[in-house]
Amino acid sequence: MSVSKKPMVLVILDGYGYREEQQDNAILNAKTPVMDALWAKRPHTLIDASGLEVGLPDRQMGNSEVGHVNLGAGRIVYQDLTRLDVEIKERTFFANSVLTNAVDQAKNAGKAVHIMGLLSAGGVHSHEDHIMAMVELAAERGAEKIYLHAFLDGRDTPPRSAEASLKKFEDKFAALGKGRVASIVGRYYAMDRDNRWDRVEKAYDLMTLAQGEFQADTAVAGLQAAYARDENDEFVKATVIHAEGQADAAMEDGDTLIFMNFRADRAREITRAFVNADFDGFARKKVVNLNFVMLTEYAADIKTAVAYPPASLANTFGEWMAKNDKTQLRISETEKYAHVTVFFRGGGAAGGAGAA
């Protein structure tokens, strides 16, 4: 039997789905002659892209990263969201040595514990329940200065849904008798992934210098002011939360900073701004020597502590093709490069020669 030398193409239509109801169904209402012909004349099937079938909690919506990870692995891969949910439920999260050591180091030196991340119930890049658990961990271990720098979503959640989340955290800090929300900013600024460094700089200055375009006494008040300026959650401009009599929350040498996003692609740029000595994305007005912790590994070349290193997957698509001497070419736009490389190999390192 001869082996075909013709190229084979695997095309991933990110976000393309199947639903029989025609109302509000852009795909079904569009003219799609090529897809119609393939569906009519070629073997096909449907696969689930959400919930337990892709390693997420039941009824949790899927997303681009999750889809690529499962496709590349060829099996169900339990996602960081699910893994962290279990860790928190079983309280092993509260004994994670990387997290506890980072908190203890700051506490013992009289320094601050800064927590930053996407304050969202969306479960795509982060989950606010994980951030709440981190606040509780810091408080339980005796940290007195706990500052939350909240990135607002409005993309994986409704456009103006952040108020309930901010209120929840303000109530939590009040109950603890220590800590506070120190800043709010939309993910448009803090979570860029396409080298738009002017945006990232605004979020960086907000946290390191406690300087922003706006200031408010409370996080909810700052959000309401943003809504009055017609800014949805995603686009809320850098806002310092600093009521009269409160201590400044600018980051200082020796502080701990824990980044609570678990998805890597939109966490890398701002992490590099904090961590890399040779960072050149923008001229940093203030370089802070922090004890920086990534919740998961955002990139292998970012040299800082990782609370939950990646689990390795064997025989992913790329690795298997490489073992069988198949050359691969992965093509995507800049914003999706991680999806066809890192995510498609399950988050691990490249699997040998020829494997992406």
Q: Would you please indicate which residues are annotated as catalytic (active-site) residues?
A: 64
Tokens representing 298 are: 């955002």
Cβ-contact 304, 275 below 8 angstroms: yes
Whole-angstrom CA distances from 200 to 190, 203, 252 are: 5, 5, 19
In sequence order, what are the residues at sequence separation of 6 or more whose Cβ sits closer than 8 angstroms to the Cβ of residue 322?
328, 351, 352, 353, 354, 355
| 3 state SS of 113 | strand
| Nearest-angstrom CA–CA distance, 319 and 329 | 13
Strands in the chain per DSSP E = 113-119, 146-152, 180-186, 214-216, 239-241, 256-259, 291-296, 305-308
In sequence order, what are the residues at sequence separation of 6 or more whose Cβ sits closer than 8 angstroms to the Cβ of residue 54?
48, 62, 66, 67, 69, 70, 76, 77, 79
Residue 236: which region, alpha, beta or left (left: phi > 0; alpha: psi -120 to 50)? Answer: beta
**H or E stretch at 137:** helix 128-140
Helices 197-209 and 268-275: crossing angle, nearest 10°? Answer: 50
